[in-house]
Amino acid sequence: MKGERAVFQSMISRNAEPLPALNPTGPWPRHVAIIMDGNRRWARARNLPIAEGYRRGMTTLRETTRACRDFGIPILTVYGFSEENWKREATEVSLLFELCCAFARNELDALRRENVRVQVLGRVEALPDAPRRALEHLVRSTADNDGTILNLAVNYSARTELKEAVRALACDVQSGQLQVEQIDDQTLASYLYTAGMPDPDLLIRPGGEYRLSNFLLYQVAYTELFVTDVYWPEFGRVHFAQALAEFQRRQRRFGN
């Protein structure tokens, strides 16, 4: 682990922007969540088609997944498509689904080679056939990998996640499989999409907005937040390292 982090630090330090001081012995996040924001604003600022912003965002996702692998961060969860995104123009929604299919198709070999296991959080069954099948194939094809876990939040809503968890809990109580007295934090967490995973230690939001946007509302109760004005398409390894350095400077008290 330390060796991998030392190699990664050396690699980043050769970039134009210097790497912030990082402590190889930690603390290090076990789970990083990212709201991939700013794709459209990045494209508009450069008079480029919106599609180019999303394509560059896919490249950033690939590099950030590799950064997590190199740093030994076990879990990366990214906000790809929210339930609210259905309200956008139909052409943009179609573009997002086309890119989703392209990512699943073009990245599969690299994800296998790099031992990344993909999981999908959200109501995948409600997606159109092509992206639904593409994501399901990506999940099946990487299921045996035991390296970095990449959670893709697609057609995701934290409020929907909580509603579904409460309904499932109520059904189990009604059927006698669960007693009301047994419901605690751990029990509720086991009904969420992230069941069995640790809560995110660090949530990164590129694009400069200071809101959660209906993302992992239950899970981020004690998560450290890092906001940067850098748009997601230009969020590089140095920016990721800056977020990690800030995380290492924080004192996590968990309400104590």
H helix and E strand count, the chain:
9, 6
Q: In the Cβ-directed half-sphere of 213, how many Cα atoms lie within 13 Å? A: 23
What radius of gyration do the chain's Cα atoms show? 19
Q: For residues 213 and 79, is the Cβ–Cβ distance under 8 A?
A: yes
Q: Is the peptide bond before 24 cis (omega within 30 degrees of 0)?
A: no
> Which member of 15, 85, 151, 199 is catalytic?
85
From the list 102, 106, 99, 112, the residue with the least C-alpha distance to 139 is 112
> Residue 70 catalytic?
no
Give the Cα separation of 122 and 242 in Å (integer): 29
> Residue 15 catalytic?
no
Report the 10 Å Cβ neighbour count for 232.
28
> Which member of 37, 39, 70, 155 is catalytic?
37
Q: What angle do CA 26, 32, 33 make, to 5 degrees?
A: 160
* Secondary structure (3-state) at 82: strand
Q: Where are the alpha helices (DSSP H) in 47-122?
A: 50-71, 90-106, 108-113
Give the Cα separation of 15 and 49 in Å (integer): 28
Q: 25 to each of 4, 11, 147, how far by Cα in Å? A: 12, 18, 20
Q: Which residues are catalytic?
A: 37, 85
